[in-house]
């Protein structure tokens, strides 16, 4: 039981990690295809990520000690499933207590979410669920048959044709069960009103800020790691690696510079672009307003870290101020709006007004 709980935690951790990595593009795609970000669909996609990793953790982990494995063969007789069922129902007592039957039920249930996700998130039917379920099950079984593709000298888990059958059946059942979900809520296709303006809310602005923070963090972290690798293996300057100052300066410069370039060109940060928001209406010259909009966002605040000392404290204080101003300014325009003198609006307003009626 302890191993099962650990595997569940591993799947959740990896799924959430990938969810964080994919959050910004997911938000951008959601606003462009469906006009908004739905909490329900967001959680559903996160569940699909966790489920994907759960399949692998439960079928391959824990990896055994190579010196302690017992080599096994392959079960290629498809009638083994029927014989397992016959034995389970012929045995005295409750058939549901028989390990063979429980294993069959588990194999079916394991792939039920796959069929449901394919229909609800991908708008795919029973035939697609059948082939995807079969292909994924075959990949798992082949991975086991080959000793995790040569990582082990032999297979330590059975390749079982019966698993292919029951897994595929589970995917088909999941697809059928998902028919209860209204058709309008299925798939990734763009909705008819995706280009229509939506209300500018503080929640929407908060999502934009979160996208900016995550994106800025990913860029800075990526540059820092690349710099440390370069210093370690190309320049071979161990002292510079341990000091970390070069990596810090380059990472902050790259992230803050990227945000500045995007704001100067578009007038919006990456987070604003993701959620289809923009700042407009300042009396200041456009270039100055855009620089001030950048200064009040994650780019400008993060750039203060380059100065070190008290500016690090100031940077942290400004982040807290930005969060407070999100809830205390009109439409959550926050610090960027106050500095630039601009107001927030939906970026699709002009397109909707000029569309033919």
Per-residue pLDDT at 351 exceeds 70: no
Residue with tokens 């620089």: 291
Per-residue pLDDT at 186 exceeds 60: yes
Tally Cβ neighbours within 10 Å of residue 254: 17
Tally Cβ neighbours within 10 Å of residue 93: 7
Looking at residue 275, its pLDDT comes to 96
Ramachandran region, residue 339 (left: φ > 0; alpha: ψ -120 to 50; beta: rest): alpha
* Whole-number Å distance between alpha carbons of 9 and 1: 13
For range 152-168, the mean pLDDT: 87
pLDDT in tens, 260-294: 999 999 999 999 999 999 999 888 999 999 999 99
**To the nearest whole number, what is the mean pLDDT of the chain?**
88
pLDDT in tens, 302-314: 999 888 888 888 9
Nearest-5° angle of CA 215, CA 222, CA 218?
15
Contact status, residue 304 vs residue 311, Cβ threshold 8 Å:
yes
**Strand, coil or helix: what is 233?**
helix
pLDDT in tens, 86-129: 776 777 766 666 677 788 888 899 999 999 999 999 989 999 99
Looking at residue 336, its pLDDT comes to 95
For range 232-246, the mean pLDDT: 92
**Strand, coil or helix: what is 345?**
strand
Q: Taking each helix axis from N to C terminus, what angle separates 23-33 and 2-21, rounded to the nearest 10 degrees?
A: 60
Looking at residue 357, its pLDDT comes to 35
Q: What percent of the chain has pLDDT over 90?
A: 59
pLDDT in tens, 43-69: 999 999 999 999 988 888 778 888 788
């Amino acid at each position: 039981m302890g191993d099962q709980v650990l595997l569940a935690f591993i799947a959740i951790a990896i799924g959430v990690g990938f969810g964080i990595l994919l959050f910004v593009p997911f938000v951008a795609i959601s606003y462009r295809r469906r006009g908004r970000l739905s909490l329900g669909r967001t959680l559903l996609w996160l569940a699909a990520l966790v489920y994907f990793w759960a399949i692998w953790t439960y079928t391959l982990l824990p990896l055994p000690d190579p010196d302690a494995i017992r080599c096994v063969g392959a079960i290629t007789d498809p009638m083994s499933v029927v014989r397992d069922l016959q034995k389970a129902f012929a045995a005295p007592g409750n058939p549901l207590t028989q390990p063979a039957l429980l294993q069959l039920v588990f194999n079916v249930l394991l792939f039920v979410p796959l069929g449901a996700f394919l229909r609800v998130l991908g708008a795919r039917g029973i035939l697609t669920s059948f082939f995807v379920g079969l292909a994924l099950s075959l990949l798992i079984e082949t991975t086991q048959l080959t000793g995790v593709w040569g990582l082990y000298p032999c297979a330590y888990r059975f390749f079982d044709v019966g698993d292919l059958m029951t897994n595929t059946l589970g995917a088909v059942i999941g697809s059928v069960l998902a028919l209860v979900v209204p058709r309008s809520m299925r798939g990734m296709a763009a909705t008819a009103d995706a280009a229509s303006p939506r209300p500018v809310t503080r929640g929407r602005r908060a999502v934009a800020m979160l996208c900016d923070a995550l994106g800025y963090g990913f860029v800075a972290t990526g540059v820092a790691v690349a710099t440390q690798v370069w210093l370690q293996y190309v320049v071979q300057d161990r002292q510079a690696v341990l000091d970390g100052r070069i990596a810090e300066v380059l990472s902050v410069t790259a992230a803050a510079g990227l945000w500045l370039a995007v704001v100067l060109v578009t007038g919006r940060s990456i987070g604003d672009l993701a959620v289809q928001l923009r700042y407009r209406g300042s009396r200041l010259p456009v270039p100055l307003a855009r620089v001030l909009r950048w200064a009040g966002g994650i780019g400008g605040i993060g750039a203060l870290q380059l100065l070190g000392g008290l500016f690090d404290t100031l940077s942290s204080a400004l982040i807290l101020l930005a969060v407070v101003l999100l809830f205390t300014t009109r439409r959550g325009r926050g610090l960027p709006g106050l500095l630039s003198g601009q107001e927030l609006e939906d970026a699709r307003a002009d397109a909707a007004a000029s569309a033919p009626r």
